[in-house]
Amino acid sequence: MAEKELRGLIQVYKGRGKGKTTAAFGLALRAVGQGLKVLIVQFMKSTDFITGEMKGAKRLEPELKVIQFGDSGIWGLGVPKRKYTDKAKKASIEALNFAKEQLSVGWDIIILDEVGIAMHLDLLEESSVLDLIETKPKDLELVLTGLEMPERIVKVADLVSEITDVKHPYYHGIEARKGIEY
């Protein structure tokens, strides 16, 4: 395989629109279909709320593995920064440390889902995430998602997609739907 094909890039999916996690899972599905191994580390997402993504990913194990770090008390963008608990910070740090441990395990792609919002809420240090980026193996594809993403991470990324919120059914009273939003 050519050197260019072996080089793992850094991708960022950010913005206020719906679809960042969905895009990351789409990439994971495509990769598994092509014989690659994918790890998704979800920041701030609870193991007590099982989504369709989690159920689908379970069917694709061991090629696709999703590990969640969080609990139902820490997810919710309406919570002011100062209200997030030590438990939330601990879970985010554990997620990042787990991701660092996995860098040399043999995954082709590692997705850090919602790592951007964990940094935005001061649950993670930007420098810790930059350290992970700098130490990743050169053939590992790394994907970071989040509502917010620090500019320094955007600058080191090879691909940045901004998902914008033009129109959303939630603003018209339509709640999240099973199989569509979760």
Using one digit for the tens of pLDDT, what is the confidence trace for 86-112?
A: 888 899 999 999 999 999 999 999 999
- Give domain status of residue 179, yes or no: no
- Give domain status of residue 173, yes or no: no
- Give domain status of residue 181, yes or no: no
- Give domain status of residue 175, yes or no: no
Q: How far apart are CA 110 and CA 8, in angstroms?
A: 10
Domain count, the chain: 1
- Give domain status of residue 171, yes or no: no
- Give domain status of residue 182, yes or no: no
- Give domain status of residue 177, yes or no: no
Domain assignment of residue 25, given as a range: 3-165
- pLDDT bracket for residue 176 (50, 70, 90): confident
- Give domain status of residue 178, yes or no: no
Q: Residue 24: give its domain's CATH number.
A: 3.40.50.300
3-state secondary structure 88-120: HHHHHHHHHHHHHHHCCCCCCEEEEECHHHHHH
pTM above 0.85, yes or no: yes
